[in-house]
Structure 1
């Protein structure tokens, strides 16, 4: 199987949908020799921020000299980004070779009348096989959706479970109340382990604490008073946590001090579990962490920022961030969202901040909301809006409106930000 054939096989498995549950992934991994059992995990769930915590933890561990696996979704630039070891993407050769093994097992399962693995289950199995092959010391694992019935929750050798902010999202899959969603996400908590969380809504905290009691797990939630000496600006972003002074996280955003503190707490607990990490590695790891798509500057003339805010909590956090970092800048927005998101709420919170808005349809995505329909929603909150025919047109229009003294913020679905960033980079080269 070539890399192209492997991608075609995985794309074809999309017809099986996104099915929550562990039966099929368990069966597949059994047939592959259960590679996940040879690995140790930091398992991360949450609605917003889990990718940032993953990036901080894995970069710190890399700085400390460990071989670290990363499994993330969705990706920004290319398919292989989702499986990394020490921040290097899985090779095309490895994707092809491992996909062949998984394809053969999937065919066996079909022949025996069993369900075929979904695309996410195939990718999860591939990640475990690759991390085993690469002899990873530790794997930092991000849930795809939810927790309890997410394919990643097949793992049994979790060292620490970590939680980013939990809020309302994926209601059709996870539940219609915050408590229901929190219970699903809390399903990653394993017996007699350590749980670390960013500050949570009281309703969420109650669920996490109750699950920890049931599982005899220890719970540490980062309290606001534990993060001191806060500095948040483009020029200086730093905080003090547990005696570590002037820690400087490399990702911008109003929530990043909390995410970085949660990552530092994960490292603190890992040290007690026999994974030595120096203070220098913590400092260097936090500072070197990058996570494109989280209030990321992609150009400075004019200032051009991208952010993957695509649900209620993310919209609220992005609004906080704008008021902290660029309170007085003229703002031009580019927005592209998926039709199954609460885009009306997102627009109501953010578009009043903009002088002009350009809407765009996320390309090559069946869930994408047409640019004209999004523009109609935007008009309810800001009349200065137009729909672009393409990402290229959206970038050109926004740059014209921003001129030299304004700024551009592109936000919404992560699925279009990679194409948009490439378009911005092309414009810089010409």
Structure 2
């Protein structure tokens, strides 16, 4: 297969849906000679902050001279973003060649009466093959959904399990209490493997403590008292962690928490034989890039994109808005999936805006219609206008906003790549 044929093949496997459990994944990897067993992993689970934490950790390790694989989802701009080495996407040729290999294995599995792997399982297996082929020193791996039954949890060579902030999301799969959800997230903890956790709510913290104790793991929590002298900013931010000052280039009040979780992970790695220099930590934090979480994409008017898609992320977005844009006129673009707690997201954010343009997230069966979203927002006496397209929403927001106003697009990561491209195009056209 060439790259286009390989992409068509993986797109066709979407019909097999999402299946929680490790049986299919284990069968597929067994046929591929278990490449994951020859790799070392930092495994990250949690509700919010997984991606940013992954970016900080992998960038720091890159600056320490390690060859670092990243496996992430969802992606913002390109499909190949999900598989990277030192921030370089997998090559089209490598993707096509490895997908051809995997397809032949799957054909054999089907002939033997085994179930067809899902898209995510196939992509995960391909990532493992690629990272092994390129002889990566370490892989920073993000769970897709939950932890215990997530396809990534087939690994058993984890060197550090990382738990970012846990909150309510994906309740239809993970449970409807924080304890149940935390139990699924803590499922990535492996016997004897050190565990590093963000600050957690009491119920989630207890689950992590109990799981780590049961599996004889060293457990480290981020201590908020280690963080001081925070300087917030849209272009860069500074903080003291313990006795050292660090600079980060990602905006959002929550990025302080994500950065300190990454610092705690690096501390853990250094204690267990990995050599990460202090200079690499400084350089890695400052040069970490992660688009889609309170990211500034345009100035005058200020234009921010944020992937806030659940209640906790909406709280973090509100906190950042009130911190950075107090007294500013706000215009929102919102697009949300129907299976999310969109009423809670609206209740937290809509009262902050003077106008809101709603969109139906493109090419997704889970999308809430722009009209239904606008109707829900109208209960808060906010002017909400349903738009026929994302392009129309971007153009309308630019027409309405003055240079000192702030436009914020959020609700789902799924449309942010298209939106960023549209904003770049629209702003360029205005400046011609």
On whether the aligned pair clears a TM of 0.5, the verdict is yes
Q: Deviations over 1:292-321 (max 9, x none)?
A: 000000000210000000001000010011
- The verdict on how the C-alpha distance between 1:235 and 1:369 changes in structure 2, with shifts beyond 3 A counting, is closer
State the distance in 2 between where 1:123 and 1:274 align.
31
Q: Which SS does the other structure have where 2:57 is aligned?
A: helix
Q: For residues 362 and 164 of structure 1, what CA distance do their matches in structure 2 show? A: 27
Shift in Å at residue 428 of structure 1? 2.7
Structure 2 counterparts to residues 288-299 of structure 1, below 5 A: 288-299=287-298
Displacement of 1:242 after TM fit?
3.1
Measure, in 2, the Cα distance between the counterparts of 1:76 and 1:369.
Answer: 20
Per-residue CA deviation, residues 211-238 of structure 1 (Å, 9 max, x unaligned), is 0001101111112111122222336511
Mapped to 2, the partners of 1:242 and 1:136 lie a distance apart of 31
Alignment correspondent of 1:268? 267
CA contact (8 A) 1:72 1:83 kept: yes
8 Å contact from structure 1 (residues 351, 382) kept in 2: no
Please list, as runs of the form range in 1=range in 2, the aligned pairs for 1:235-314 lying within 5 A after superposition: 237-243=237-243, 245-314=244-313
Which position in structure 1 is the counterpart of 2:55? Answer: 55
How far apart, in 2, do the equivalents of 1:147 and 1:288 lie? Answer: 29
Q: Secondary structure at the match of 2:263?
A: helix
8 Å CA contact 1:233, 1:324 repeated in 2: no
Please show how residues 18-97 of structure 1 align to structure 2 within 5 Å: 18-97=18-97
- The answer on whether the counterparts of 2:354 and 2:382 sit within 8 Å (CA) in structure 1 is no
SS of 1:233 mapped into structure 2 = coil
1:306-385 map, 5 Å: 306-385=305-384
- Conserved? CA contact 2:236–2:248, under 8 Å: no
Alignment of 1:155-304 (within 5 A): 155-234=155-234, 237-243=237-243, 245-304=244-303
Counterparts of 1:277 and 1:210, CA distance in 2:
30
Distance in 2 (alpha carbons) for counterparts of 1:38 and 1:273: 19
Instruction: State the alpha-carbon separation in 2 of the partners of residues 10 and 131 from structure 1.
Output: 19
- Give SS of 1:210's match: helix
C-alpha spacing 1:235/1:143, structure 2 compared with 1 (3 Å)? closer
Give the 3-state SS of the residue equivalent to 1:130 in structure 2.
Answer: helix
CA RMSD of aligned residues (A): 0.9
User: 1:164 & 1:199 partners in 2: Cα distance?
Assistant: 8
Alpha-carbon shift at residue 108 of structure 1 (Å): 1.1
Distance in 2 between the 1:369 and 1:119 partners? 24
Q: Contact 2:42/2:159 (CA < 8 Å) preserved in 1? A: yes
Q: Deviations over 1:377-408 (max 9, x none)?
A: 11112331101111111011111221212110
Kindly provide the CA deviation profile for residues 29-69 of structure 1, in whole angstroms up to 9, marking residues without a partner as x: 01101111111010000000000000000000011111000
Which ranges in structure 1 are unaligned for 5 or more consecutive residues? none
- Structure 2 distance, partners of 1:82, 1:220, is 28
2-structure distance, mates of 1:112, 1:208:
40
C-alpha distance in 2, partners of 1:411/1:236?
A: 21
**In structure 1, the residue corresponding to 2:248 is in which secondary structure?**
coil
CA distance in 1, matches of 2:402, 2:159: 50
C-alpha distance after superposition, 1:340-391 (max 9, x if no partner)? 1110110010010001000011111111111111101111123311011111
Other structure's SS at 1:248 match: strand
Count of residue correspondences: 429
Q: Do 1:63 and 1:285's aligned partners in 2 also have CA atoms closer than 8 Å?
A: yes
CA distance in 1, matches of 2:307, 2:257: 18
* 1:263-307 deviation digits (Å, cap 9, x = unpaired): 011111111222211111101100101110000000002100000
Preserved CA contact (<8 Å) 2:236 2:251:
no
Go from structure 1 to structure 2 and tell me whether the alpha carbon gap of 1:50 and 1:21 turns closer, same or farther (over 3 Å shift): same
- Structure 2: tracts of 5 or more residues without a match: none
Query: In structure 1, the residue corresponding to 2:219 is in which secondary structure?
Result: strand
CA–CA distance in structure 1, aligned partners of residues 151 and 7 of structure 2 = 20
Matched, 1:392 2:391: yes
Residue 419 of structure 2 is aligned to residue 429 of structure 1: no
